[in-house]
């Protein structure tokens, strides 16, 4: 896959976001992505000396798909660590819940979380 680079300016936090879900600072250093308790990847950022985390799937969606403020970002293949732009879509929260109910997709169980590759 060819990686497309795109700059993302998030308030006063500047990061380089790739369409394959990788995140870099402006010095070119690849940021470490940490999984949350449910498998979603996040990156640590600092703003005005304060530490915070940003969800990688939301960063990629906002850069390559569109504004996802007040919306949900859905992983088409249901693997929450697959954050490339072609695997993501923005949905209204009610539409997203309906999709998961209709397709009987539930959050990962503790047993399934053991198979997450990190």
The length of the chain, given as a count of residues = 118
Q: Say what the pLDDT of residue 2 is.
A: 63
Parts of the chain with a pLDDT under 70: 1-13, 106-118
Q: Say what the pLDDT of residue 106 is.
A: 66
Tens of pLDDT, residues 70-103:
999 999 998 898 999 999 999 999 998 888 888 8
Domains of the chain (ranges; CATH) run: 5-113 (3.90.75.20)
pTM of the model: 0.81
Q: Say what the pLDDT of residue 46 is.
A: 80
């Amino acid at each position: 896959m060819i990686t497309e680079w795109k700059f993302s300016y998030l308030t006063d936090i500047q990061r380089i976001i790739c369409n394959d879900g990788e995140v870099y600072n402006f010095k070119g250093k690849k940021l470490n992505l940490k999984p949350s308790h449910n498998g979603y990847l996040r990156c640590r950022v600092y703003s005005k000396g304060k530490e915070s985390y940003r969800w990688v799937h939301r960063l990629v969606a906002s850069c390559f798909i569109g504004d996802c403020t007040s919306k949900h970002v859905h992983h088409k293949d249901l693997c929450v660590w697959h954050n490339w732009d072609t695997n993501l879509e923005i949905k209204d929260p009610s539409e997203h819940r309906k999709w998961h109910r209709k397709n009987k997709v539930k959050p990962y169980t503790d047993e399934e979380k053991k198979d997450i590759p990190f």
